[in-house]
Chain A
Amino acid sequence: RKEVEQDPGPFNVPEGATVAFNCTYSNSASQSFFWYRQDCRKEPKLLMSVYSSGNEDGRFTAQLNRASQYISLLIRDSKLSDSATYLCVVNFGNEKLTFGTGTRLTIIP
């Protein structure tokens, strides 16, 4: 079993729709959690950290469920510019970031 698992997609979603990504992780001792965004042929960029209480940044909402070892990302009112690969990232407290394979999202006009 992979340490961080994501549905690779692709997700093809009409502009303006709401889309949700899920991610599960294997180690209950995990310390910190992130969503990164990666555009085609570019480096990953931090989208948002994920906190136990859940957090929101504009149209983006991240949730963490430690009991189920589950992280989610919700994008509301999706824009064409949201098209990218979204990477679920976990730090297991061992000095490295562990990435999922990423979920590819395409917003359709």
Chain B
Amino acid sequence: ETGVTQSPTHLIKTRGQQVTLRCSSQSGHNTVSWYQQALGQGPQFIFQYYREEENGRGNFPPRFSGLQFPNYSSELNVNALELDDSALYLCASSLEVGGAETQYFGPGTRLLVL
């Protein structure tokens, strides 16, 4: 296994609510990336954090925000949930930033917005 964990595994919310998803990276991994995977699509990059600072962002609105903590854990927060936010949310950790590093994915959180 990758050593990356995510919680919760499944979540059901209603439109307009807020959600916080959590990720625990491999020990020593300074970089965490979050991805959204809609059904039948490949994962889409949301943003990346390196040493607790945002280090790159994909084409997602500001209601998607994140935090990274010194203990290798991180959060993805989504405000004002929309139906299209229903997806599998994946976090991936890597040792350092730079692109060539292998990213290790957690099992994901399945979010359903009703």
Contacts and interface: CB of A to CB of B under 8 A. Distances in A.
Interface residues of B, number: 27
Interface stretch (A14-22, A40-48, A57-65, A76-84): A40-48
5 contacts: A95-B33, A95-B50, A96-B58, A97-B43, A102-B41
Contacts of A42: 107
A3 to B, nearest CB: 10
Contact of A93 (B55, B99, B102, B105): B99
A94 B55 CA distance: 9
- Give the contact-size bracket for chain A: 20 to 34
Contacts of B92: 97
Nearest to B55: A95
A26 interface: no
B61 interface: no
